[in-house]
Chains A and B, each alone.
Chain A
Amino acid sequence: MSDYKSTGVISLDDIEVPSDERLKAGPVVIIECVENIPCDPCVAACPKEAISMDIITDVPDIDFEECIGCALCVTECPGLAIFVVDCSYSDEKCKITVPYEYLPVPDKGEMVYALDKRGDRVQKAEVVNVRQSGKTYGITMEVDKGNVWSVRGLEVME
């Protein structure tokens, strides 16, 4: 366990991650929700029943083999703690879908700053998909593969 309790920053040690084989096979969900809080909209959002809980305060149990990386859960999570990564199509690049609830909303094709878990700019990235559900957006960016575990947010360029 990392020091997220005092920093608010989750590390890879804290969460369940897909195997390398699963990552290479196609888009897949990454859930950065590690506390036993009473919350379960992700379970209802999944069309493949890949996310489950026995009781509402369980941490989401993810079946990475069932997950199709559709990202429907990304915009349903009240904690904005769900992301989808796709490492399947290139040696250099990958796609990351993040939840977004600020203004302005970037357009497809726009260049944005990809941010890490501390809000630091990691690289410039192209927005390759924008999906809206209610007032929450799922924004997909293309980033360098080496940044797959660091990029979790975005900032629109001035």
Chain B
Amino acid sequence: MVDVGGHMPERRIKDHPVLEFERGNEFYFDYEGKKVKAYEGETIASALYADGLRKFTESKLLERPRGFFCAIGKCSSCIMSVDGVPHTRTCVVLAKEGMKVENQGARPKFPFIEVEKGKRLERDIGIAIVGGGPAGLTAAIIAAEHGADVHLFDEGDKLGGQLVKQTHQFFGSHTEDAGIRGIHIADELIERAQELGVEFHNRSTVLGFYPERTIAVERDNRFEIYNTEGIIYATGAIENFLAFENNDLPGVYGAGGVQTLMNEQGIVPGEKVLMIGSGNVGVIVSYQLIQAGVDVVEVVEALPEIGGYQVHASKLRRAGVPINTRHTIKKALGEEKVEGAIVQKIDENWQPIEGTEREVECDVICIAVGLHPDNEFLRQAGCEMEYIRELGGYVPKRTEDMRTTTERVYVAGDSAGIEEATVAALEGKIAGAALTEEVYGSSKELEKKKEEAKKSLEQMRMGPYGEAPRQGVKMCTVDEEVC
């Protein structure tokens, strides 16, 4: 059921203390026979959400309603049929005038798209970079600065990866990009890459790796082949999920997904948010929700201590948000969508304490319990992988130069291990420099930049918060001879 009419509170943000939303032309598309308003630049999922839709799909067996979750094309929770093509991730496809969007059944039929013979695109290129976030962009920039033929592939319409939703001033060194908001860092990197002649392939999903460094790409329902001299995978991360009763109800969203909807698309997720997890993502997104005018009712944290930086937690407390450690969510309430939650205390052995259950009034439950690297491609490319808890999951073995065990295949950013954007950018620099040297020959200048980046990286990982990545990276870093 689509909730329509004027009684819905306006979900599109008008005034924001940090962001300005310049919406493009207003138009309409068709959703299940109904006209839905959208603005140029909005994804299908965002426009539907702003229109009041909460249920995007349903589970195949029990037909339970499902909402969106990640909002960045990683989870398939928002797939619909768009202009007759099922399994379209509505969160990464822009809405267009007159588009026909439909719910897809349990077993949707795929249309047959005929490709004219000889029309398949096949190209020989220099360096392919998969993923246009901070790691991919810095890799592209350093390679292009040294004359490499660089192609940057990203499945989104815009580049910048998750930087574009990071509205807070960055930590880190003022000699890097600290103090600057992520959104502006993305703009600068994109502009620089463009100036240097990096070829952007947006709306391009890299589907697979074939021997001798050939990649297959899908763009606008077309299949493309690129034979490359070397590849850097900078495909980022996927949000972790959490087991609790009713966790599949629409309204249970990834904190990153909420950040995308709110900071990139300018649409608030709801009115009252319960945040699960007090790591940096949890506390930062909570703060950004308040900035967007949304009430954060509570942050719960299973650990005895807050996971994120004290300064982030302190500003949340100053805004009157309680942070309850040694608490967990027991269940989400509601039938069709989230209408509340039950939270509960847990003891030293992580067991729920009976009698401490408490109902929390909320319409959104945000899950901020960490991320894991998105690097299926590397496994497919034959890279040796290792499970490193400190880096969030399986990561490729790599040299200090970010080279994997597969020849001329490099990795950078969260797909190499979960850290943060400044680290991703430094790893991108290292991988970009090293691969350029391998393909185009060594250079003193590249060597120098690479070593500087390694030094900065080492500094970023100092201190107690750098302990886990420091240990994790040590465990999966191998000598040059191995790779």
Contacts and interface: CB of A to CB of B under 8 A. Distances in A.
Contacts of B174: 40-41, 43-44
Contact of B310 (A5, A40, A78, A116): A5
Contacts of A43: 174
A49 to B, nearest CB: 14
B169 A7 contact: no
B305 A6 contact: yes
Interface of A: 4-10, 32-41, 43-44, 55-57, 76-81, 101-103, 105, 115-120, 135-136, 152-153
A152 B465 CA distance: 26
30 contacts: A7-B306, A7-B317, A8-B313, A8-B316, A10-B314, A32-B314, A35-B309, A35-B463, A36-B462, A36-B464, A37-B309, A38-B460, A38-B466, A41-B174, A41-B179, A43-B174, A57-B466, A78-B169, A79-B171, A79-B311, A79-B312, A80-B315, A81-B315, A102-B290, A103-B15, A103-B16, A103-B17, A118-B320, A119-B320, A153-B318
A118 B17 contact: no
Residue of A6, A34, A57, A105 contacting most chain B CB atoms (<10 Å)? A6
Nearest to A58: B463
Interface residues of B, number: 44
B173 interface: yes
A7 B317 CA distance: 8
Contact of B17 (A36, A56, A135): A135
B475 interface: no
Nearest to A116: B318
Given A119-B318, A153-B319, A39 B306 contact: no
Nearest to B293: A103
Given A36-B463, A36-B465, A103-B17, A56 B172 contact: yes
A50 B321 CA distance: 33
Contacts of B459: 38, 55-57
A136 B169 contact: yes
Residue of A4, A5, A78, A105 contacting most chain B CB atoms (<10 Å)? A78
B318 to A, nearest CB: 4
Given A36-B465, A44-B179, 9 more contacts: A8-B310, A8-B314, A32-B314, A41-B169, A78-B178, A101-B17, A102-B290, A103-B291, A135-B18
Nearest to A81: B311
B170 interface: yes
Pairs A-B, 3 closest by C-beta atoms:
A119-B320, A79-B311, A8-B313
A117 B316 CA distance: 9
**Would you call the interface of chain A mostly helix, strand, loop, or mixed?**
loop
Given A5-B306, A9-B317, A57 B462 contact: yes
A13 to B, nearest CB: 14
B337 to A, nearest CB: 28
A136 B18 CA distance: 8
B178 A8 contact: no
A118 B323 CA distance: 10
Contacts of A38: 171-173, 422, 459-463, 465-466
B290 A37 contact: no
Contacts of A78: 168-171, 178-179
A102 B316 CA distance: 12
Contacts of A81: 311, 314-315
B178 A119 contact: no
Interface string B180-192: 0100000000000
A38 B456 CA distance: 11
A23 to B, nearest CB: 22
A7 B326 CA distance: 11
Contacts of A77: 311
B310 A34 contact: yes
A87 B460 CA distance: 37
Contacts of A101: 17-18, 291
B325 A6 contact: yes
Contacts of A9: 314, 317
A38 B293 CA distance: 30
B473 to A, nearest CB: 15
A111 B305 CA distance: 36
A116 B314 CA distance: 11
Nearest to A10: B314
B304 interface: yes
B168 A55 contact: no
Contacts of B304: 6
Contacts of A5: 305-306, 310
A103 to B, nearest CB: 5
A79 B317 contact: no
Interface in B264-320: 290-291, 293, 304-306, 309-320
B15 A37 contact: no
A9 B321 CA distance: 11
Given A6-B304, A38-B460, A117 B314 contact: yes
A158 to B, nearest CB: 14
Contacts of B319: 119, 153
Contacts of A35: 309-311, 463-465
Interface in B1-50: 15-18
A136 B169 CA distance: 10
Contact of B323 (A8, A116, A117, A153): A8
Contact of B173 (A40, A80, A136): A40
Interface in B418-465: 422, 459-465
Contacts of B171: 37-39, 78-79
Interface string B153-181: 00000000000000011111110001101
Nearest to B305: A5
B218 to A, nearest CB: 38
A38 B419 CA distance: 13
Contacts of A118: 317-318, 320
A39 B18 contact: no
